[in-house]
Amino acid sequence: MYYFRPAQERGSTNFGWLKSRHTFSFGHFYDRKHMGFSVLRVINDDTVSPGAGFDTHGHRDMEIISYILEGAIEHADSEGNRFVVPAGEVQRMSAGTGITHSEYNHSTSQRLKFLQIWIQPNRQGIKPGYEQKSIIQDERLTPLVTPDGRDGSLSLQQNASLYRLQLKSEENVDLDTSKRPGYLHVIEGIGSLNDDINLMDGDGIGIYKENVQLRATGGGLIALWFDLPS
């Protein structure tokens, strides 16, 4: 069974300094048919102009992950954390009982491009927390965020895991969702699921109760793979 979310059908926001595509309902974009998948609530594909960014704002009871694709984010929050997160690094913020933060493009000359991901936690009212790491991402499936922070990944307040998936041209990987659902978000490249569903940049697909094979077609493929609770 599939939940297919083509890139061109995502919601969009354009504030001039920010261009964003929303996989699920977010902010001014609302579609009751696309409210999330399992505990996955937000995948925003954000492009921020040089020197611009999100002013101080608040969050509560949400696990917020930033995966930097280009440039660097300058992060500051009410817990006293102040860091720059460059491309290739991963950041996780647990909003818990409440946290305010700001996010800016650290560069005054280059754009910032990142994926902002929200996952609903399995416990509410926890102490806010922050974690950031540079993770070597040279495996076919590299764990980025896991419940227990295994294999050098960040930890998460949920029984869910996030992996970076990369395939060379014509390489394939088996994805088993017979017991737990999974969600695939394509960052770049072209692929095929079971040689039946074609996928490209920005496409997403939720899969459950299936054993599927993902193959890179016509070149390599980079994606995020979410292993999610039922």
pLDDT at 138: 87
pLDDT at 122: 95
Q: Please state whether beta strands 161-167 and 2-5 pair in parallel, antiparallel, or not at all (unpaired).
A: unpaired
Is 37:225 a contact under the CB 8 Å cutoff?
no
- Look-up: residue for tokens 């109760």? 209
Q: Which two structure tokens, joined as six digits, stand for 203?
A: 């496409």
DSSP assignments along 6-34, one per residue? -GGGSEEEE-SSEEEEESS-BTTB--TT-
The residues spanned by each domain of the chain are 10-139
CA distance 113 to 77: 20
| Tens digit of each residue's pLDDT (9 = 90 or more) over 53-74 | 999 999 999 999 999 999 999 9
pLDDT at 26: 96
CB atoms within 10 A of CB 114: 23
Low-confidence ranges of the chain (pLDDT < 50): none
* Of 79, 173, 89, residue with least CA distance to 130: 79
CATH 2.40.10.120, applies to 10-139: no
pLDDT at 59: 94
What's the burial of 161, exposed, middle or buried (CB within 10 Å: 0-12/13-18/19+)? buried
* Of 122, 121, 85, residue with least CA distance to 103: 85
Q: Report the predicted TM-score, pTM, of the whole model to 2 decimal places.
A: 0.96
pLDDT at 31: 94
Residue type at position 129: G
CA distance 32 to 29: 10
Cα dihedral 71/87/115/154 (nearest 10): -150
